A and B are shown apart, each in its own frame.
Chain A
Amino acid sequence: MSTRDIDKMPKKSPFSFQIDLQKFEKATDEEKRQQDVMSESVSFFKDGMRKLMKNPLAVGSIIALILIIAMVIIVPRVVPYSYSQIITVNGKRDKTAANMAPFEYSEKELEYMADGGEVFPHIMGTDELGRDYFVRVVYGTRVSLIVGIFAAVLVLIIGVIYGSISGYFGGKVDLIMMRIVDIIYSLPDMLMVVLLSVVMREILSVDKYPMLQKIGTNMLSMFMVFGLLYWTGMARMVRGQILTIKQNEYVLAARVSGAKAGRIIRKHILPNSVSVIFIAAALQVPSAIFTESFLSFIGLGVQAPMPSLGSLASMARSGLTEYPYKLVFPAILICLITLAFNLLGDGLRDAFDPKLRR
């Protein structure tokens, strides 16, 4: 090769530095091995959690949710009012305590306090019947959360079972099962809820089942609709995941080892789809809460006097101009919960979804 630019570049002459002749002896294996370090063992889960914690939105959402749950648990013990309790002062009903603004006191309460009594402040005011609004909002949050999570769990269970059977067996089984899903998917959910609640009311005459009266036939029908209709999205997604995982060679390797279908699903397919299912479940919760709020808003949700965020918002519609806070508080909470779960779900997906890994 001809001499050119880079060859003419000033090179460190090998003899220009103090050469320790001893250094030219052979390196021992130990010295070499020190350079070859294997990084510490991380399981898939730990690795994902580490990534999740680096995501500020996800961490923020987790904190927000923890705070909300804490509020739901602690507040009813601290605040001396119950959600259906109409404010009484000295044992007498206080008609003037209706529709108070936050931190306002009614006349009778002011008198009471002047006399030396203690009145727990109404942090969010009161509603039109004189019930403490803060407690109602907190209870409403609790109801919404419980409904949301239960509905999500219901959808999760049905969807996962259905989707994994359909996905694993494929062929005709898959074809039929997916066509059923298509049909169910096309049924109008609002209509179903209304019809079911009417039918439920007829069938389950309320006297016989006092437990049901508390929940209300509306709620029951809402759960039934969730169980009947809303699992389809989850089933499709799980099926898709399973189809993808089935392609992997380790499933084939398990077959070559002699594993039967049950073992393959249990040990290979489900563990690998867990992260995706988990993420989908996390994203189901806000959707369920929102649906419940919506149904309560239009009057098909929980029965009075049990509050839910949606029914509170609905009742706040009248008198909106005069007491806007009555809508603002439940609305903020709905938004906060929905946003927190959505961001958490997104964060989980970024951290755990194998497709997004490098």
Chain B
Amino acid sequence: MSKETASKSEYLVEVNGLKQYFPVKVGFMKSLPLKAVDGVSFAIRPGETLGLVGESGCGKTTVGRSLLRLYTPTAGDVFFDGERVDEKSITHMRKQMQMVFQDPYSSLNPRMTVEDIIGEPLDVHKLYASKGERRDKVLELMELVGLNAEHATRYAHEFSGGQRQRIGIARALATNPRFIVCDEAVSALDVSIQAQVINMFEELQEKLGVAYLFIAHDLLVVHHISDRIAVMYLGRIVEIADSNELNENPIHPYTQSLLSAVPYPDPKMAKERQRIVLEGDVPSPLHMPSGCAFRTRCKYATERCAQECPGLTDRGNGHQVACWVK
């Protein structure tokens, strides 16, 4: 695994060998570790967007949550702005690292008004001197995300999915964070609303210089918004590269089949493309295959793939791949 040794200023977020195991009961006294995240390393520069893609069960959501210390990592380090993230430092770091959630319906408290929802981070960190100041800040944030100021006293359930997501984004921006984890933030929205929210993410990045970890399963969206993309499979990153580079030149067999499976909204292209259809199903993370986790579905698998797990190796141009064969 290549460790990226960086000076304090270059990387905003650095993750090294992050592991997150959850014990799962499988018998009377037995429990097996569910290796949701099994050794993940990456780094994000200030103002950059790293896309994290993979299918269900690959661990991408867990990475986001472990990063923000919603779970205590089983192993590995996370550095924010050069400082290590741990039990103590997380309290003041929470102002700088925030999250936007997937489900606009369950991520907002149905009993709170919009003003209270957006103002909560301000309350927790005591970022205002008076009620008036709080109100002003909240209204400012609402304007930033395109919400009508007169809606501040309404309740969350009166809004549509897209508007709720904006409320969630306003909440995430309340403490002026430098890094936001977007956990499938647009996946639950209608197509026409997705575009509005995606554009808003981009505008906010231009205006405020926020860095994003954009977790999603829709490759076209991720490709559009990310500077770099990391592909995950069963808890490990199998490939990481610049967005365009990954799309034009995918090296890892999983990435290749993933990209070829994405349906293009274009009939002529759809008919012309070559599909690489993977056989079989994803193995259970409780019983991961030895060595490379992908070898059970890979047509290039060799002996070595079963014995040793490949680490990420540099192929030039910042393009890293974890594969023995390719």
Residues of A within 8 A of B112 (CB): 267
Closest A residue by C-beta to B109: A250
Task: Place the interface of chain B in its size category.
Answer: 20 to 34
Known contacts A44-B110, A272-B110, A354-B110; decide if A256 and B154 are in contact (CB<8 Å).
no
Min CB distance, A299 to chain B, in Å?
Answer: 47
By the criterion CB–CB under 8 Å, are B153 and A41 in contact?
A: yes
**Residue A259, interface by CB 8 Å:** yes
By the criterion CB–CB under 8 Å, are B155 and A44 in contact?
A: yes
Total A-B pairs, Cβ < 8 A: 69
> What is the interface of chain B mostly: helix, strand, loop, or mixed?
loop
Min CB distance, A271 to chain B, in Å?
Answer: 4
Residues 176-232 (chain A) with a chain B CB within 8 angstroms: none
Known contacts A249-B106, A271-B111, A272-B111; decide if A257 and B154 are in contact (CB<8 Å).
no
By the criterion CB–CB under 8 Å, are B120 and A254 in contact?
A: yes
Output the residue of B94, B108, B111, B171 with the most chain A CB within 10 A.
B111
Output the residue of B68, B99, B175 with the most chain A CB within 10 A.
B99
**Residue B125, interface by CB 8 Å:** yes
Bound form: Cα–Cα A354–B111 in Å: 11
Q: How many of A's residues come within 8 Å of B, CB to CB?
A: 23
Residues of B within 8 A of A258 (CB): 91, 94-95, 121, 124-125
Output the residue of A39, A250, A255, A267 with the most chain B CB within 10 A.
A250
Bound form: Cα–Cα A59–B106 in Å: 32
Bound form: Cα–Cα A342–B48 in Å: 59
Bound form: Cα–Cα A312–B118 in Å: 58
**Residue A356, interface by CB 8 Å:** no
Known contacts A249-B103, A271-B111; decide if A257 and B171 are in contact (CB<8 Å).
yes
Bound form: Cα–Cα A93–B106 in Å: 71
B98 contact from A38, A249, A250, A256, Cβ within 8 A? A256
Residues of A within 8 A of B111 (CB): 44, 271-272
With A44-B110, A258-B94 known, 11 other A-B pairs at CB within 8 A are A249-B101, A249-B102, A252-B70, A253-B101, A256-B94, A257-B124, A257-B174, A258-B91, A258-B124, A267-B109, A267-B112
Mind listing 6 A-B residue pairs with CB under 8 Å? A248-B106, A254-B109, A256-B99, A257-B120, A271-B109, A272-B111
- A residues whose Cβ falls under 8 Å from a Cβ of B: 38-39, 41-44, 248-250, 252-259, 263, 267-268, 271-272, 354
